[in-house]
Amino acid sequence: IVEAQLKSMLKEEGSESQTAVTPRVGIIMGSDSDLPIMKDAARILTVFGVPHEVRIVSAHRTPEMMFSYALSAQEQGIQIIIAGAGGAAHLPGMVASLTPLPVIGVPVRASALDGMDSLLSIVQMPRGVPVATVAINNATNAGLLAVRMLGVGDTDLLARMSQYQEDTRDDVMKKAEKLQT
Ligand code: RP5
């Protein structure tokens, strides 16, 4: 049921998983309640044409699924994992301990502690097990970071990232000019 809900929410957004081709990025999250935030990562990957998949994988509620996802990701063709979680956000770190792939962690603001709990749970990893942590609720940056990482071996993708940066710059300049007139 969760998978069906996930698909329909992503379809509405135009960010549904591109399952026809092998996903290069796996977007996982602890709960379907993380999806309103995590879909921003899917949206960015869709804009850049990067095949990806979206899954609910909980470190605490479905630990066996987390183990099997993390242990099989590399052989499935996944190159980067974006993992979002809130509260006692152990998913990104645990996944990073089980795979050699780069893991980008998204702290989701999910509890009474305003996301600081998620941020600290994800960013304070022990030496030897890195998780590239983005700002609280900033799944957009997780998607952009994944594109930059893939761009190291993909000049077309890197060119599209440069274009995105130019567009962002132009957008700010236009707003600044408008304010002056
Ligand atoms: C975490 O607990 C999830 O990542 C989510 O952010 C938080 C709350 O989950 P729900 O109770 O909404 O399912 O594991």
Quote ipTM for the complex.
Answer: 0.97
CB of 35 closer than 6 angstroms to any ligand 1 atom = no
Helix (H) or strand (E) holding 108: strand 103-108
At residue 2 the predicted structure's pLDDT band, cuts being 50, 70 and 90, is low
- Contact residues for 155 (Cβ-Cβ < 8 A; gap 6+): none
Whole-model pTM: value is 0.91
Q: Is the CB of 58 under 6 A from ligand 1?
A: yes
Encode pLDDT of 54-81 as tens digits.
999 999 999 999 999 999 999 999 999 9
Which 8-state DSSP code applies to residue 61?
Answer: T
Q: What is the distance between the alpha carbons of residues 116 and 16, in angstroms, rounded to a whole number?
A: 29
Q: State both tokens at 52.
A: 């990806």
Q: Is 31 in the pocket of ligand 1 (CB under 6 A)?
A: yes
- Cα of 175 vs centre of ligand 1, distance in Å, is 37
Identify the pLDDT of residue 58: 98
Domain extent listing, the chain: 2-154
List the residue whose alpha carbon is closest to atom 2 of ligand 1.
86
Q: 73 alpha carbon to ligand 1 midpoint, in Å? A: 22
CA of 111 to the centre of ligand 1 (A): 9
* Ligand 1 mean position, distance from CA 159 (Å): 37
pLDDT at 10 > cutoff 80? no
Q: Report whether residue 105 contacts ligand 1, using a CB cutoff of 6 Å.
A: no
How far lies 70's CA from each of 1, 17, 43, 73, in Å?
22, 18, 23, 5
Tell me the two tokens of residue 178: 């408008």
CATH top class, domain 2-154 = alpha beta
Is the separation of the CB atoms in 136 and 118 below 8 Å?
A: yes
